[in-house]
Amino acid sequence: MKLQRKNRRALALGAIAVSGALALTACGSDDTSNGGDATGSSTAQAGSIKCDDAKGQLLADGSSAQKNAIDAWVKQFTAQCGVQINYKGSGSGAGITAFTNGQVAFAGSDSALKPEEVTASKKVCTGGQAVDFPMVGGPIVAGFNVSGVDKLTLDAETLAKIFNNEITNWNDPAIAKLNPGVKLPDLKIQAFHRSDESGTTDNFTKYLISEAKDSFPYEGGKAWQAKGGQSASGSSGVAQQVKETNGAIGYFELSYAKDGITPASLDTGASAPVEATVENATKAIAEAQVVGTGNDYALKLNYGTKADGAYPMVLVTYEIVCDKGNKADTLPATKAFLRYIASEEGQQILAENDYAPIPDDIIAKVRTAIENLS
């Protein structure tokens, strides 16, 4: 697996260098012990991070998907600026709640703010409101653990039926049809989903609803709605259950797909099944449209892309912050940290940790918006 991870990293960095126009950021993990080299191999050059008047401590919470990325960034930022940043990674829903209650300086969410959440934010953002800054991107994988099976292709329809408890055995004809020549065992499928409110769930189900609505007839959102299956808390919790259970499948970010977990490829209708890699997620995120207004950069992802090599089951993690009305004692540190993670250096760390940097044209606008925070 270590060799595979090194190969994936080399491919990701090569693709980013060639494309130039794209830099995708990384989706992290709940626990750096799961991430191996979660701190990344990049080391900030002395004085390259602009600390300004940053001081004290920042409290933050939210997306577990970006936890490994945050940990890598914090290591570099704290070393130069001395600011202590405590990011809990309790999940997107918990992060937004903590933010609108005024408990944290910023939050991470794998889904853009809803109108009612923007309204709630005005109580803590004096004279302003919360905005979405896309900062981390990457593939959501359908990670499986099936003895004797080391390669698997699924499509949206089959995934929808698996997670809606309609396909319950690994040798089901629908799975066999997508995997000619693969010896599938007569083994019960153990499907795991998130127990907590999660932006990963939101994005995963958006993909299923977009591409297989008849087989996944739900509204979607951060809370899991489908019938059946088993649950676990956080991306790391789902991954751990899959790792320990023969016949299991779950959804989480690419950085969790290791130590006995294999990501399934997706049959999207392209010329060949698409693997869940950083570079393939980059191709899909490149098709996203900015739908936010003003200093809000919420994105609309194209889950239905059939472009060759584009992996559409992706998410983007946003940093949620007040555009105006930030607390005076945390504003300098918040701006300095966000400035760093949006920088080329910060985005490069993501690429080194199985995450996808945000497209250049979008992250450039985010950098300008960060400087306008007050």
Q: How far apart are CA 348 and CA 356, in angstroms?
A: 9
Burial class (CB within 10 angstroms; exposed 0-12, middle 13-18, buried 19+) of 170: buried
Which pLDDT value is given to residue 258? Answer: 86
CATH code for the domain of 95? 3.40.190.10
Nearest to 87, CA basis, from 66, 111, 101, 113: 66
Nearest to 82, CA basis, from 61, 54, 45, 49: 54
**Residue 21 resides in a domain:** yes
Which pLDDT value is given to residue 45? Answer: 53
CB atoms within 10 A of CB 313: 26
Task: State in Å, rounded, how far the first CA of the chain is from the last one.
Answer: 45
Q: Are residues 75 and 185 in the same domain?
A: no
Q: Are residues 333 and 268 in the same domain?
A: no
Contact between 178 and 156 (Cβ < 8 Å):
no
Which pLDDT value is given to residue 299? Answer: 96
Q: Tell me: the pLDDT tens digits for 234-284?
A: 999 999 999 999 999 999 999 889 889 999 999 999 999 999 999 999 899
Of 279, 308, 325, which closes a domain?
A: 279
Which pLDDT value is given to residue 297? Answer: 97
> How does DSSP classify residue 188?
B
Q: Given 3-state DSSP classes, what are the helix, strand and coil percentages for the chain, each rounded to the nearest 5?
A: 35, 20, 45
Q: Are residues 149 and 273 in the same domain?
A: yes
Q: How far apart are CA 62 and CA 57, in angstroms?
A: 17
Q: Are residues 108 and 204 in the same domain?
A: no
**Residue 31 resides in a domain:** yes
Q: Are residues 151 and 274 in the same domain?
A: yes
Q: Tell me: the pLDDT tens digits for 79-125?
A: 999 999 999 999 999 999 999 999 999 999 999 999 999 999 999 99
Q: How far apart are CA 180 and CA 279, in angstroms?
A: 26
Contacts of residue 18, defined as CB under 8 A and 6 or more positions apart, other chains included, come to: none
Q: Are residues 129 and 254 in the same domain?
A: no
Q: Are residues 6 and 78 in the same domain?
A: yes
What is the token pair recorded at 317? 């993690």
Q: Are residues 157 and 30 in the same domain?
A: no
**Residue 303 resides in a domain:** no
Q: Are residues 212 and 113 in the same domain?
A: no
Q: Are residues 343 and 268 in the same domain?
A: no
Q: Tell me: the pLDDT tens digits for 20-67?
A: 333 333 333 333 333 334 444 444 554 579 999 999 999 999 998 899
Q: How far apart are CA 74 and CA 286, in angstroms?
A: 27
Which pLDDT value is given to residue 65? Answer: 87
**Residue 153 resides in a domain:** yes
The DSSP element (H or E) to which 194 belongs, if any, is strand 190-194
Q: Whole domain around residue 57: which residue ranges?
A: 2-136+291-298+317-371
Q: Are residues 110 and 233 in the same domain?
A: no
What is the token pair recorded at 22? 């794209």
**Residue 230 resides in a domain:** yes
Q: What are the phi and psi torsion angles at 63 (to 5°)?
A: -40, 125
Average pLDDT, the chain: 88
**Residue 364 resides in a domain:** yes
Q: Tell me: the pLDDT tens digits for 318-370?
A: 999 999 999 999 999 999 999 999 999 999 998 888 899 998 989 999 999 99
Q: How far apart are CA 338 and CA 324, in angstroms?
A: 15
Which pLDDT value is given to residue 40? Answer: 41
Q: Tell me: the pLDDT tens digits for 199-234?
A: 899 999 999 999 999 999 999 999 999 989 999 999
Q: How far apart are CA 17 and CA 327, in angstroms?
A: 39
Q: Tell me: the pLDDT tens digits for 62-92?
A: 998 899 899 999 999 999 999 999 999 999 9
The three-state secondary structure class of 85 is: strand
**Residue 10 resides in a domain:** yes
What is the token pair recorded at 41? 């191999």
The stretches of 214-309 forming alpha helices (DSSP H) are 234-244, 278-285
Q: How many residues does the structure list for the chain?
A: 374
- The total domain count for the chain is 2
Q: Are residues 194 and 99 in the same domain?
A: no
Find residue 263's DSSP bridge partners: 143
Q: How many Cα neighbours within 13 Å face the side chain of 152?
A: 28
Which pLDDT value is given to residue 8? Answer: 43
Q: What are the phi and psi torsion angles at 193 (to 5°)?
A: -130, 175
**Residue 183 resides in a domain:** yes
